[in-house]
Amino acid sequence: MIYFSPAKINIGLSVLARRPDGYHSIESLLYPVPLHDLIEIQAIESETNRIDLRLSGCPIEQSQPNSINKAYFQLAQLFSLPAVRVYLHKQIPAKSGLGGGSGDASTFLKAMISQFKLKLKEGQLFDLALQNGSDCPFFLQSQPAIVTGRGEKLEAFTPILNKLFLVLLFDEKGISTREAFESVQIQPYSPKLADLLQEPIESWRDQIFNDFEAYAFRQMPELLAKKQSLYEAGALYASLSGSGSVVYGIFKTPPAKTFKTPHWKGYL
């Protein structure tokens, strides 16, 4: 069976405080995007608790443990798992701010539980996902949600982008999330994001911001140029997603402009 792991964009991202546990308190709307990584899981004849992960598609760093491997061995601490061969085809670029690795981990956890009929206690799946990353719990449902805390507190939010058109502009370079958080300037408290999102989307440009943009645009000035190109093409709203390095634009209809940079586009 093939499982589809979606991307997400951040609409607004405020870093509110540095926490004693080393994380940061944030506020953001996470919104699922119909751009997916593809995951296939096959049981194989081998010793138990063994995973053979095979990668294709967008390149990812292999110096760090893959989130799917990590998720597998989390489950292996709780169950005697069959050996599996996992094919991961990446369409979501790494370090893009689209949540690809987090989504892969959460989708894989759900797939393993379903495919091999594993029984977890209430709340246990959420806890396993959170161990993989602060935004992993969001991908267990992949429905629009306002996230607070370190990103693990989710409040369901009404879909507000239905029938609007989305353009993602990619960059081959990635931005380190850790370095982005270290460099961000904590801003004074601003009006609640949920209230601002009720305003017409055309007003978001002057009211809803991503606190990582200043750092990302210093590191990669071409990202600022891409954001400006989206507005020039008629975007209602444009922003960096997460800590980058993707900028996106939301349009009423597909833009007439052709973007030379690698991109994805489609309706939400």
Q: Could you tell me if 262 and 170 are in contact, meaning their C-beta atoms sit under 8 angstroms apart?
A: yes
Q: Is 8 a catalytic residue?
A: yes
Q: What angle do helix axes 100-115 and 124-132 make, rounded to 10 degrees?
A: 150
Active-site residue identified among 8, 90, 95, 227: 8
- Candidate list 37, 90, 95, 135, residue with the active-site label: 135
Find all residues with CB under 8 Å of 94, minimum gap 6, and list them: 58, 59, 60, 61, 100, 101, 174
Q: For residue 87, give the amino acid letter.
A: Y
H-helix or E-strand spanning residue 177: helix 177-183
Parallel, antiparallel, or unpaired: how do β-strands 24-43 and 84-90 relate?
antiparallel
Fill in the DSSP letter of residue 140: G
**If residue 238 lies in a helix (H) or strand (E), which one and from where to where?**
strand 237-240
Q: Please give the single-letter amino acid code of residue 42.
A: Q
171 close to 223: Cβ distance less than 8 angstroms = yes
Cα angle value 259/31/105 (rounded, 5°): 100
What are all long-range contacts of 221-230, with beta carbons under 8 Å and residues at least 24 apart? 222/171, 223/171, 223/247, 226/169, 226/171, 226/261, 229/169, 229/257, 229/259, 230/167, 230/169
| Active-site residue, 117 included | no
- Peptide bond before residue 245 is cis, with ω within 30 degrees of 0: yes
Taking the C-alpha atoms of residue 66 and residue 68, their distance in angstroms, rounded to an integer, is 5
Cα atoms in the Cβ-side hemisphere of radius 13 Å centred on 171:
25
Catalytic residues: 8, 135
